[in-house]
Structure 1
Amino acid sequence: MIEALSGGVLLVKAALDLGISVVVASADTADRVMPAELRDRIDELVTVETNDIPALVAAVQDLHDRLPISAVFPGCDVYVPAAAHVAARLGLTGLDVATVERVRDKTRMREAVAAAGLRTPRFTEVSATSQLAAAAEHTGFPCVVKPVDQSGSLHVTVVHDLHELTTAYERLSTDSFVDLGRPLIERALVEEYLDGPEYSVEGYVLDGVTTVVAVTEKFLVPEPHFAEIGHQVPADLEPALEAGIEAYVAEVVEAVGLSVGPFHCELRVTPQGPALVEIGARMGGDRIADLVELARGVSLPRVWLAALLGLTTEATGAFPGPTAAVAGIHFFTAPAEHTFERAAGLDEALALPGVRNVQIDAVPGDPVHPLVDFRCRLGHAVFTADSHRDAAATRGALGATVRINPAGGDR
């Protein structure tokens, strides 16, 4: 495992539960620290700069020479290319190294999907302020600007004129924020705004067959930003629309060349039909894999283990069966004019019908970020429900019950 992060944590836990030996390669610093809950359970921790692919390949090759490795997995989307390069070097099953550029670089992704004749927004890559006017001329307003290789809604912004576009791009290109040891770069996409509700599609490719497991409903902050503050599986869709989404995503998977393992495809349903936001060669983050298992009865981590280790899905227990009709996750946020001090109402929230866990990740003194990207999320609750109506009621109750920095002695 290259960096046990996000969905990678679920994958490591699944492997360990099956008695599979696990080695993690990690920088083990800053936001890439090895999770304490796994540190003592894995077989070995290899400390290496995981953003340096030659150094990573050399370290894993040395490990492979003394402890043969059977498969290489990325802990999150950032390390999909690294995993492909390492697997290729060791002669193991994995994605083609050319394919991974099409699922990490959003320009290459758009080009591949457009070349296949599939609906995708008009787009232009820019790397300087001087290119923005021409880009906007091509896409029209409103349009969206985003980094070509980031995730978590970082600097994804809808703009309505050249002044807003210039401001958003300058903010993107000068931000000093470092995510997983990687600074932002000046390359960005300017693309047509897609008007319609947003969903993600979870699935996998196994033995050459693409399977869609679930369509996930997304809950976003108000525009001009797109931070995700909730997910729900399955989305409440008419059967014909769901079938159309699934067919479109299968074509996207083929267009970008995904040949094995899970995928997480984000799209919007426009008046002209589904249109790609982006696709990743990995499981969805934000515990979406947990929601899929609860509501669809499919363990995506165990499917992934079967796919790369050459095991059967029966051997990995990949299809345990659903335990709920609907599963969701709600993220707790707060106004950004102060730091985090405490949260109230956690016990009451945990007592709500269907709520499975409530967790606050922020610690006193942490900044409370604006509703712009993933950093605005202070904690979360996972819940299940018997219907979409009940799920909506639980989501609303969670938002009302958990209070961030309440006044006085409110508990």
Structure 2
Amino acid sequence: MTARDDRAPGGPAPAHLVFVECNTSGSGFEALAAAKRLGHRVSFLTTGLAAYTDGAGEGLDPALLDRVVPCDTDDTDAVVAAVRALHREHPVHAVLTMSEWHVLVTAEAAHRLGLAGSGPEAVAAARDKSRTRRLCRAAGVPVPGFRRVERGEALDETALPLPCVVKPVDELLSIGVKLCHTAAEARAHVHHLLEERDQTYRGRARTPAVLVEEYLDGPEYSVETLTYEGTTRVLAVTRKLLSPPPAFVETGHAVPAPLTDEVRAACEKVAADALAALGYTFGSAHVELRVTAEGPRLIEVNCRPGGDRITRLVTLATGVELVAEQIGMHLGRPPVAAGRAAGRGAAIVFLPSVPGRVDAITGTAAARAAEGVVDVGIYVAPGTETGSSGDNTDRFGHVIAVGPTSTVALARAEAAARTLALTVAAPAAALN
């Protein structure tokens, strides 16, 4: 199996792409749609398609898939065997994923199959936040002070930087991330994560370790990149909107981030240096950082495109379809150097849910008609039971808007979001 350049007279040559699972926060469905629009054959490996098609929210259109193959997508051997079987039917040209949970399995499978893909060692280092910290610190990349604490290990409270952030080393969606102001609070949250939560929210065994790190005071950003043959190209820097501490729930994003040229360049350098420190030479990345009084400092590296429809914002603001560029990379085509000149902004705001049984969602027509709005997404329907977990899953929808700048786009999205309302009854548990 070999990757190939998909440029051909008259347009891209059709290829057979195998996707390992998906995400449901934008880039996954976008990539499948882009693959079909480009004329490629799409096979989809999954433990269950219903996870993407059931429910009231924006689900996966099965018409985007030429073949669905049941597979234990947590097992590299199973993924390799499934791809080889597909290859016997139609030659496979690329294996890829937009799912954070499957970046390592996919990298391992592509490597074993001789296909283009991210290096497994670099992906494994990024998946463990404490390992990312160690490698980046050794390479001179600015990171917060940190300590990895494993199950059964005593927490040296005298060495804690206060306030501190306590988080799992291998979770996502801001799940389990908490700002702690006292040693007692930190000790309690470490105990909660290590002794009371042994699975991720996806039901996987959690690594029995947490990261205790210095709290970085400053606004948060993410850098959206494509790395090809060791060269990293920055497509955008994204402004991230967060809920007040102690949780770090993402409430929206805006592209491009309103930064000075100096600060933007510093953010881009930290991202590129972090990827180099991990040995990441191929693939997309979503690198998160905070800009402190001392400059940008790394938070984490994700070896896949940003979720939360950030890829859609990048396309709206720059004209570059990040997921299509990533597909092209897997087929041997270098990505574009950069997007178009600044002059347009895009933003998304999320609609926070409240616990209960949904009775009604009102205001959608007004939101869709608001100035600059290009998308209103609703994830629930009447009768849906909603919860409150204190992380990025606490949403009932989103609004995306565009404008001459990202600041204007964000204001338009926020104004449209205010026209939407979720009415809920008491949670079912409260009625019994």
- Answering whether residue 423 of structure 2 is matched by residue 400 of structure 1, we say no
Structure 2 Cα separation of the partners of residues 277 and 124 of structure 1 = 14
Identify which of 90, 98, 103 aligns with 1:67. Answer: 90
Kept in 2, the 8 Å contact 1:142–1:158? The answer is yes
Q: How does 1:7-406 map to 2 (within 5 A)?
A: 7-28=27-48, 31=51, 37-128=60-151, 130-132=153-155, 134=156, 136-173=157-194, 174-175=196-197, 179-311=201-333, 325-336=344-355, 338-370=356-388, 372-405=390-423
Provide structure 1 residue ranges, at least 5 long, that are not aligned to the other structure: none
CA-CA distance at 1:278 after TM superposition: 0.4
Greater shift, 143-152 or 22-31, is seen at 22-31
Kept in 2, the 8 Å contact 1:122–1:138? The answer is no
The share of aligned pairs that are identical, in percent, is 36
C-alpha spacing 1:346/1:176, structure 2 compared with 1 (3 Å) = farther
1:52 alignment partner AA: D
Per-residue Cα deviation, 1:74-113 (whole angstroms, up to 9, x for no partner): 1311111011111011111112221111111111111110
C-alpha spacing 1:88/1:312, structure 2 compared with 1 (3 Å) = closer
TM-score (norm 2): 0.86
Kept in 1, the 8 Å contact 2:346–2:410? The answer is no
1:327 alignment partner AA: A
C-alpha spacing 1:322/1:79, structure 2 compared with 1 (3 Å) = farther
Structure 1 Cα separation of the partners of residues 424 and 138 of structure 2 = 53
Per-residue Cα deviation, 1:244-283 (whole angstroms, up to 9, x for no partner): 1112211111111111121100000111111111011110
Give the structure with the higher percent helix: 1
C-alpha spacing 1:87/1:17, structure 2 compared with 1 (3 Å) = same
CA-CA distance at 1:55 after TM superposition: 2.2
Structure 2 Cα separation of the partners of residues 223 and 369 of structure 1 = 20
**How many aligned residue pairs are there?**
401
SS of 2:384's equivalent in the other structure is coil
Provide structure 2 residue ranges, at least 5 long, that are not aligned to the other structure: 1-18, 426-432
Greater shift, 120-129 or 11-20, is seen at 120-129
2:154 alignment partner AA: Q
> Alpha carbon RMSD of aligned pairs, Å?
2.4
